[in-house]
Chain A
């Protein structure tokens, strides 16, 4: 059902994203700090999100490097 390295990578990425966006890992970013003037918590959420998309894009656009 979920054969192939590509599919397994996607599954792994899905669970990684799920973990990063939920309890308790998300709580780690909840600090009274700023990143270039942007409060850390929202900044971290957007950066994690962007990283997830970048990883997905890389695997989707380079399917041959298996």
Chain B
């Protein structure tokens, strides 16, 4: 055993740590550096779903029913698969309309009906109190077991002041108040609390895994050993099978999956962390798989611990729900047992804190506020500042809930296992499903339908599940269960109308959901909803279609700015109200608060702000009392919607127009740039051409002048000069021809004659044409060609031009003597590749891109060879005209290789065309 002092000290230390985490969370939030702005933290906070019920109860369930602990986690996994569709829509709606709780959500959807929100709150409170009791019971039982292992159970009959659970309840209430109801926030978000909850999720996971690893590898010799020993005992072996000796109850399995699927969304604490506390919609994308993964991991060791406990304790009767604590304790691992207890405490506190905060918000906004507003003192017209009252109500609600939970634990806690209590709560909140899911996707659902469905479902839950559980705990005679009320056996709560073959939970779920859905749909279809309700339905169902600008505002009437300002001051505090109005004025383009136009938009703004503080139903009442409004008919709503959609259409049109204008501008700018650069190129070209023309012209002119002025010039010299003049003239002609050629190709006026070209013959011809040139430079030319090359459809003269260009280029650069040039022809399925390789000086990497530009010759200024500088650019134009490309492969000092590739142009290669 562990000394009570140690347990209490550890628990306090842990709670202090929680306070610290929450405090840091709040502090960072005030600085604008949110710690919870992370998908991982968001997912961990969702794991508040795993409470003491998971921590202790699952093992108990596994010890008696094998895999029956699992449906409670498979359901939420399936729900999360659809999370990105359904929960994201809820998050969006809650954000846009500042919804603060599930009661607020349902009421808002159905015309902000205070009656509906009150009913939802009532159901939540009744359904949740047993669940809170469950957590207190778990902590209290754990404490008893840890400090006095002999007493297997707990004895809640002791006087309250010696009962640890009472103090636990008070401390938790204190924590919830500090972090959930310290100030009034119009968004109702609690960063510190969420940080603490995420931290708790980690603690409980690590603690549970630690116990699991200890049991499997400390007490047993690994998983295989544990399971082998369990399979040897017939009673345990059956736990590992589906049938377990009896017919498997598929209906119960189905019911539990469905129930947990609904609960993971509709439990007030789940709604709080998933929807209200969500920082960014995008976090949901990761959380929908991380949260199921968390559930999988925390459940990995449930079955091993259960079997391990059953094997370890053998015939000694032990409560399997406490195996997590009793196994380490029995093995003498006190520290581990204490850690396990802290893990359980963590699971319990996390749930209690979030649940009480969520439900207290509902109680204060949806139950107390509407009642207060009816009293004389708090009449909407009166001038009190109500912020303090609101906070007081919330704190009282938290304390009250905790005490209710404690009382329930005291009165009925002993009779039931943790799991059954939890499932009773699940079945209660499942009643929200038809009204809420229907409201999300079906515009026809009406407030009376929702109200009737909830009432019918809830009554059926009370009658078929709550009543039997009270009767079984001994507070009512079991007469009712056995014979029905007034002896009417058809009305027996657990076999209603004689329905048999279902367990209590499935039976109750079936009947309550049936009457709930039938009432909701049936009464909704009875009569068309009013204009106001229809408008809310539209806003919810089509929430993705509306942006802040074009969202329609369904309101008509007269309002005054001072009235609305005073209203905000009363419920939000003077400073806050003032600053809100100033922000609004700045956004609306008004110079000051007094200049704000009191139109529908302002009224809507005020109502949304108030909704964050007091709930949408109360906010509606308050605004209605401060302004003079006219009732809307269904036609009005349609007209307003029409206007809004026209506005939206206009704004979309404008947007499209401005977008296309922007596109056009960008295109024009680009075209202009292109023109400019072309112009620059033209200038460069002109100056290069004139430069190239001037050089031969200058020498022609100089020589001609020399001959004119010197009549006695010897004939031999004269002949030599004339030869130079002729060469220079030829060069000029060539240059002019090439320039013209280039211009023709570029402008698209060049003549192309396509025919099937035999490439082997063409290459041979080119080599023999240049043979004399190479012979002069004492250069050896090798030709490498395959035996067969299919013919290529292109212009043979142009291709010859390219080859001659490359060959004469090579001739210019080879060393003399010792020059070598290799011409290689290859073909594959893509096309042909022809390369001309020389052993010249090569082209440095930085010049390789330039040589295909006009008038950029290789070599430096000193040994610049003869040539126009247009050969390679023209070759490139020709090759590109045939859809190919040309490039150079070279390293300085190692020769260079000019390569061009031509595709087949879709013409199939015809083998045998050349032999």
Chain A partners chain B: yes
In the complex, whether A38 has a CB less than 8 A from a CB of chain B is yes
**The 4 residue pairs across chains A and B that have the minimum distance between CB atoms:** A37-B224, A30-B242, A57-B289, A39-B240
Identity of the chain A residue whose Cβ is nearest the Cβ of B296 in the assembled complex: A49
Q: Distance (Å) between the CB of B38 and the closest chain A CB?
A: 15
Cβ A52 vs Cβ B285 within 8 A: no
Residue of A nearest to B82 (CB): A14
Chain B residue numbers with a CB within 8 Å of A60 are 84, 285-286, 288-289
B85 in contact (CB, < 8 A): yes
Interface range for B: 35 or more
* Residue interface bits B270-313, CB-to-A below 8 A is 1, else 0: 00000000000000011011001100100010010000000000
Q: What is the minimal beta-carbon distance from A15 to any residue of chain B, in angstroms?
A: 9
Cα A50 to Cα B293 in complex, Å, equals: 8
The CA of A21 and the CA of B70, in the complex, are separated in Å by 10
User: Do the beta carbons of A17 and B285 come within 8 Å of each other?
Assistant: no
Of B82, B228, B257, the residue contacting A21 (CB under 8 A) is B257
Kindly identify which residue among B78, B224, B240 contacts A42, using a CB–CB cutoff of 8 Å.
B240
Q: Is the CB of A52 within 8 A of B257?
A: no
Q: Is the CB of B285 within 8 A of A61?
A: yes
CB distance from A35 to the nearest CB of B (A): 10
Q: In the complex, what distance in Å separates the CA atom of A39 from the CA atom of B236?
A: 12
* Smallest beta-carbon distance B123→chain A, Å: 27
Name the residue in B78, B243, B303 with the highest tally of chain A Cβ atoms < 10 Å from its Cβ: B78
Q: Is B253 an interface residue (CB 8 A)?
A: yes
Question: In the complex, which of the residues B70, B250, B289 contacts A22, with contact meaning CB atoms closer than 8 Å?
Answer: B250
Given A41-B240, A45-B70, A60-B286: A11 and B224 within 8 A (CB)? no
Q: How far, in Å, is A48 (CB) from chain B's closest CB?
A: 9
By the criterion CB–CB under 8 Å, are A41 and B223 in contact? Answer: no
Q: Are A49 and B74 in contact (CB under 8 A)?
A: yes
Residues in chain A near residue B441, CB distance under 8 A: 1
What residues on B are CB-neighbors of A13 within 8 Å? 81
Given contact pairs A17-B78, A41-B242, A63-B285, a sample of 20 additional A-B residue pairs in the complex whose CB atoms are under 8 Å apart = A2-B85, A6-B84, A7-B85, A13-B81, A14-B82, A17-B81, A18-B78, A22-B253, A22-B254, A27-B248, A36-B224, A37-B223, A37-B225, A37-B228, A39-B227, A41-B240, A45-B70, A56-B292, A60-B84, A60-B285
Interface residues on A, range: 35 or more
A52 touching B81, Cβ below 8 Å:
yes
A23-B257 Cα distance, complex, nearest whole Å: 12
Residue of A nearest to B231 (CB): A39
> Which residues of chain B from 194 to 237 have any CB-CB distance to chain A below 8 Å in the complex?
222-225, 227-228, 231
Contacts of A23 in B (CB 8 A): 250, 253-254
List A contacts of B289 (CB < 8 A): 53, 56-57, 60-61
- B77, B248, B253: which has the most chain A beta carbons within 10 Å? B77
Specify the chain A residue showing the minimal Cβ separation from B289. A57
Is A61 within 8 A of B85, CB to CB?
no
Residues of A within 8 A of B74 (CB): 17, 21, 49
Asked if A61 contacts B286 (CB within 8 A), the reply is yes
Interface string of B63-81 (1 = CB under 8 A from A): 0001100110010011011
